[in-house]
């Protein structure tokens, strides 16, 4: 076993212990899902788990809306083995065929109902957005070593890429990940906060204004130009990627339209001279910079360089240089800011990242309101996870007490703001349209109550699903209706939508939810029956359940039901 394989083995044993999972295979799946999707291991959505036989070799399907008109779909097979099985990849290809190509009439043959439900959910997304607005990420993950992959496996991988990477989707990525790739991704994600100093050679002419300096109230900035090869050198010398620690995204790959254009421009002799004009440039924050205007060796000395915007540009230039196709006349604009103020760095990150679309909780992780939420959740012995995976390696923390901020916000959106359909399918709005309305934080108790209620509803639906699911429709409703059930149950239990109660009332409700002797199932049963009856009243809801569950009309019908019926 190699060192990196041992690192992964140790990590999955830690995860199995932290999450109290039945075996290391389940822990490896959670680790793989977290690394590929960028989600916390504590925010895993059980309906995403589709492993259930029939040799389709697909473990999870996770669908994420992006900004309401695009989606990313993660399809993952994670095998806790030290090899790459060609047969398993062939079977996974069969699973992809069922997802993308089989007619709906054939899906009824699938006895794996969880897999069938996810296919129908995907088809609904594809129908609404169109395949050209969907980014497909297929990942085959093991704890093997990539250098041992057989020619047969490589041929099967190539065949999958040829079949689906054909401009049908916005992007189709097939990721083959072993121990080396997993550790690389972990190292990128788990920031080391290691300082990198650099001397960047710049273009300087004393007779022309090629260097612009700006000072304001103790802050310093400078604008200049550097060659693409110089930026590539900085990135390639930093093997661990520490210069991107403050960047909110990893490299998105070369297949997206923006990054493909960057690569084309910087590697073609007929366009490379235009790079400076066509590219947004690179934004750098640092502890200090010192421009050296020696005409024979002009450069800028930078301490603790952080590329806060321009990861895609910088990495694409680095890859082109590695491939020896980066043109020598490529230059890029640099904006360099010197500041010891971390909050200003956060604002720079927020306001300058707009070349590729972003909808990420990471953007808001250091907001003052997020820090305050974390502090105030501590009062109730709950660990508010404001940064993705910040508690993943802390075995001293009870995983059942971790409250991912995204899930807290979704729960609040569903219950307090009465928008369960947005909470279920449009969680990107948490960090966009609804952010300022969600995170008012006049009182933290409604957030805690919403989170605990949703968690209660989700767990009840998971354990009682087989009991209440008398048919295919009811089962799918149980798998996808947790936010809606929590919304209704909150009203049934509390008796109103009023969250401005006396300070002592809300803490008492938290105590009730935390009391293991208290049985909330009576309210959850009533809520589920009510949701089912509401959907049964309209044929358009029942005929397309996936569309119904993200419908604003359903939210309105729930409100109408709750406020027009006398509560028992």
The pTM of this model reads 0.63
d(CA 244, CA 236): 12
CA distances from 246 to 314, 465, 515, 543 (A): 14, 43, 41, 46
Residue 442 confidence (pLDDT) above 90: no
Residue 452 confidence (pLDDT) above 90: yes
Residue 470 confidence (pLDDT) above 80: no
pLDDT at 346: 67
Q: What is the mean pLDDT of the chain?
A: 87
pLDDT at 501: 67
Residue 475 confidence (pLDDT) above 90: no
Residue 155 confidence (pLDDT) above 90: yes
Q: How confident is the model at residue 567 (pLDDT cuts 50, 70, 90)?
A: very low
Among 410, 416, 542, 381, residue whose Cα is nearest residue 472: 542
Q: How confident is the model at residue 364 (pLDDT cuts 50, 70, 90)?
A: confident
Cβ 209 vs Cβ 278: under 8 Å = no
pLDDT digits (tens, 9 = 90+) for 251-295: 555 545 567 888 999 999 999 999 999 998 999 988 899 999 888
Most confident of 102-111, 308-317, 445-454: 445-454
Among 161, 142, 20, 155, residue whose Cα is nearest residue 76: 142
pLDDT at 204: 87
Share of the chain above pLDDT 70, in %: 90
Residue 358 confidence (pLDDT) above 60: no
pLDDT digits (tens, 9 = 90+) for 368-413: 899 999 999 999 999 999 887 788 777 788 889 999 999 999 999 9
pLDDT digits (tens, 9 = 90+) for 73-100: 999 999 999 999 999 999 999 999 999 9
pLDDT digits (tens, 9 = 90+) for 201-244: 999 887 777 889 988 877 899 999 999 999 999 999 887 677 88
Strand partners, 522: none
For the chain, domain boundaries: 3-189, 198-357, 364-388+398-564
pLDDT at 515: 87
Burial annotation 236-262 (CB, 10 A radius, 16+ → b, else e): eebeebbbbbbbbbebbbeebeebeeb
CATH of domain 3-189: 3.40.91
What are 163's two structure tokens?
């079949």
pLDDT digits (tens, 9 = 90+) for 9-61: 999 999 999 999 999 999 999 999 999 998 889 888 888 999 866 668 899 99
Cβ 429 vs Cβ 66: under 8 Å = no
Residue 209 or residue 325, greater confidence:
325
Lowest-pLDDT range of 107-121, 437-451, 461-475: 461-475
pLDDT digits (tens, 9 = 90+) for 500-523: 866 678 989 999 999 887 888 999
d(CA 548, CA 383): 33
Burial annotation 96-134 (CB, 10 A radius, 16+ → b, else e): bebbbeeeeeebeebebebbbbbbbbbbbbbeebeeeeb
């Amino acid at each position: 076993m190699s060192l990196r394989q041992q690192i992964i083995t140790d990590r999955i044993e830690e995860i199995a212990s932290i999450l109290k999972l039945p075996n290391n295979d389940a822990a490896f799946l959670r680790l793989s899902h977290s690394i590929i999707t960028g989600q916390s291991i504590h925010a895993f959505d059980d309906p995403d788990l589709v492993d259930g036989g029939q040799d389709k070799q697909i473990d999870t399907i996770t669908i994420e809306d992006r900004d309401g008109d695009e989606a990313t779909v993660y399809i993952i097979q994670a095998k806790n083995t030290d090899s790459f099985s060609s047969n398993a990849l062939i079977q996974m290809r069969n699973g992809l065929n069922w997802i993308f190509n089989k007619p709906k009439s054939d899906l009824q043959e699938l006895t794996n109902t969880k897999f069938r439900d996810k296919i129908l959910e995907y088809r609904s997304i594809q129908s609404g957005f169109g395949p050209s607005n969907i980014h497909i990420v297929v990942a085959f993950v093991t704890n093997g070593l990539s250098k041992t992959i057989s020619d047969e496996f490589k041929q099967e991988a190539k065949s999958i890429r040829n079949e689906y990477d054909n401009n049908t989707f916005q992007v189709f990525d097939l990721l083959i990940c072993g121990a080396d790739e997993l550790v690389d991704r972990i190292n990128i994600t788990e920031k080391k906060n290691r300082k990198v100093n650099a001397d960047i050679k710049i273009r300087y002419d004393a007779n022309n204004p090629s260097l612009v300096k700006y000072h304001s109230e103790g802050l310093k900035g400078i604008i200049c130009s550097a060659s693409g090869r110089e930026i590539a050198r900085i990135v390639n010398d930093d093997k661990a990627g520490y210069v991107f620690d403050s960047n909110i995204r990893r490299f998105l790959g070369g297949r997206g339209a923006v990054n493909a254009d960057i690569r084309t421009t910087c590697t073609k002799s007929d366009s490379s001279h235009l790079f400076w004009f066509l590219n947004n440039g690179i934004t750098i924050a640092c502890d200090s910079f010192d421009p050296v205007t020696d005409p024979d060796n002009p450069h800028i000395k930078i301490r603790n360089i952080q590329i806060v915007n321009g990861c895609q540009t910088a990495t694409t230039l680095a890859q082109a240089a590695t491939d020896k196709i980066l043109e020598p006349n490529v230059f890029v604009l640099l904006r360099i800011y010197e500041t010891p103020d971390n909050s200003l760095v956060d604002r720079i990150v927020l306001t300058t990242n707009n070349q590729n679309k972003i909808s990420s909780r990471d953007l808001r992780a250091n907001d003052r309101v997020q820090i305050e939420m974390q502090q105030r959740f501590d009062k109730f012995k709950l660990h508010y996870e404001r940064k993705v995976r910040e508690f993943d390696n802390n075995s001293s923390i009870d995983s059942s007490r971790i409250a991912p901020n995204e899930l807290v916000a979704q729960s609040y959106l569903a219950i307090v703001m009465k928008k369960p359909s947005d909470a279920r399918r449009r969680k990107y709005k948490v960090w966009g349209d609804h952010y300022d309305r969600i995170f008012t934080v006049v009182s933290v108790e409604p957030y805690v109550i919403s989170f605990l209620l949703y968690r209660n509803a989700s767990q009840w639906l998971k354990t009682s699903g087989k009991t209440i699911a008398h048919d295919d429709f009811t089962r799918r409703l149980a798998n996808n209706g947790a936010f809606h059930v929590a919304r209704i149950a909150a009203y049934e239990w509390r008796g109103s939508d009023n969250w401005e109660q006396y300070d002592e009332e809300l803490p008492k409700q938290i105590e009730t939810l935390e009391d293991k002797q208290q049985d909330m199932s009576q309210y959850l049963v009533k809520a589920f029956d009510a949701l089912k009856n509401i959907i049964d009243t309209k044929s358009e809801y029942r005929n397309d359940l996936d569309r119904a569950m993200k419908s604003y009309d359903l939210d309105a019908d729930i409100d109408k039901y709750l406020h027009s019926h006398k509560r028992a």
